[in-house]
Amino acid sequence: MKVENGNMVNTLKQQKKSEYTIKPGDKVGIVGVPPLSVISKLSETGAVIFDLDEPRVKADMELTSNYLPRVYCAILRTVVLNALHLELDAVFIDVGPGKCDCAFHVSTVLQDMLNIPIIRTRNEDKKGFGYPLCRTKMSLFEKMQQITKGVQNPFPSSPDSPPCTPTAGFWGVPPRDFSLLNLFPCTTHIYGWTRCMENKTPADTDLEAVFNPHVPTIFFAQSFCAKTALAKFLAAKHPKGLYLDVDVTCSSSTGAKIQAFLELNGVPHAPC
């Protein structure tokens, strides 16, 4: 908004972009976990979905500084970076309790930045689909990839993922930099918002707060994300918890912190 001749003038292009009919082959970006009804519709129509939370283009993050502060959630900066480079037909951005206030503000930025429909959603889906991947024996990197990929379809995760006995825990959101996941053993169970993602209930705050007090657990959040407060709070409650926040990429000292935490707690890095 700006003041012009004493009157408030809406400079956003929100109104003219709010109506959108999905067409087969449309390139549609999603941010967060849009409601199942949206994902089902995109899937049925044959739209090509791009998860904008993940790095999809090789471009300098600095390009986003015209739109967002440099000190801002790296996931949402990645959303803007992707949106700048991918020629999308529409974006569905979840801004409800299953995502964050920052995403709401980023939706405003995207509306002004792009000449395509930016559709805000509020995912408050309650039906749980289960979270077998979070508990199965598989490299944490691969598990996280499958879970984030699962957001793009309306189906539950593969039932062929039997649970394993956990030796470590990863609580939190999928990190901007997946490389830090390689430091964990294959018997790491996933908790927090990532578990909610697999369950397709991103606003389930009760599920998000679950952790296993019997296994050493890293409580991870992206730097400058509101979830840092919850991560730090839960890490303090956990008998063997370590709070960790990372911005864009995992530094060597952060990697060493994870490695030392697991090693000093006697967690073996067994091969998968």
Does 146 help bind other proteins (rule: CB under 8 A)? no
Q: How far is the CB of 265 from other proteins (least distance, A)?
A: 7
Q: How far apart are CA 2 and CA 119, in angstroms?
A: 23
Closest approach, Cβ 237 to other proteins, in A, equals 13
Inter-axis angle of helices 101-113 and 74-85, to 10 degrees?
Answer: 20
Task: Name the region of 251 (left: φ>0; alpha: ψ -120 to 50; beta: rest).
Answer: beta
Q: Is 252 among the residues that bind other proteins (CB under 8 A)? A: yes
Q: Is 242 in the site for other proteins (CB under 8 A)?
A: yes
Which DSSP string do the residues of 34-88 spell out, in sequence order?
A: --HHHHHHHHHHTPEEEETTS--S---GGGGGGTS-SSS-HHHHHHHHHHHHS--
Rounded least distance, CB 181 to other proteins, Å:
17
Task: Please name which of 214, 244, 212, 249 lies closest in space to residue 231, comparing C-alpha atoms.
Answer: 244
263 binds other proteins (CB under 8 A): yes
Identify which of residues 210 and 260 has a Cβ nearer to other proteins in the complex: 260
Residue at 173: amino acid letter:
V
Residue 71 binds other proteins, judged by CB under 8 A = no
Nearer to other proteins, 159 or 266 (CB): 266
Q: How many residues bind other proteins (CB under 8 A)?
A: 13
Helix (H) or strand (E) holding 27: strand 27-31
Say which amino acid occupies 59: A
Question: Quick one: which H or E segment has residue 172?
Answer: strand 168-172
Which CB sits closer to other proteins, 50 or 261? 261
Is residue 98 within 8 Å of 74, Cβ to Cβ?
no
Q: With binding defined as CB under 8 A, does residue 191 bind other proteins?
A: no
- For other proteins, give the closer residue by CB, 93 or 180: 180
Min dist CB 77 to other proteins, Å, is 18
Contact between 264 and other proteins (CB under 8 A)?
A: yes
Q: Which is nearer to other proteins, 72 or 219 (CB)?
A: 219
> Count of CB atoms within 10 A of residue 21's CB?
8
Which stretch, 70-78, 143-151, 173-181, 246-254, contacts other proteins (CB under 8 A)? 246-254
- CB-wise, 44 or 263, nearer to other proteins? 263
H runs (alpha helix) in the chain: 36-45, 74-85, 101-113, 132-135, 140-150, 193-199, 205-208, 227-237, 252-264
Nearer to other proteins, 61 or 203 (CB): 61
Q: Which residues bind other proteins (CB under 8 A)?
A: 242, 251-254, 256-257, 259-261, 263-265
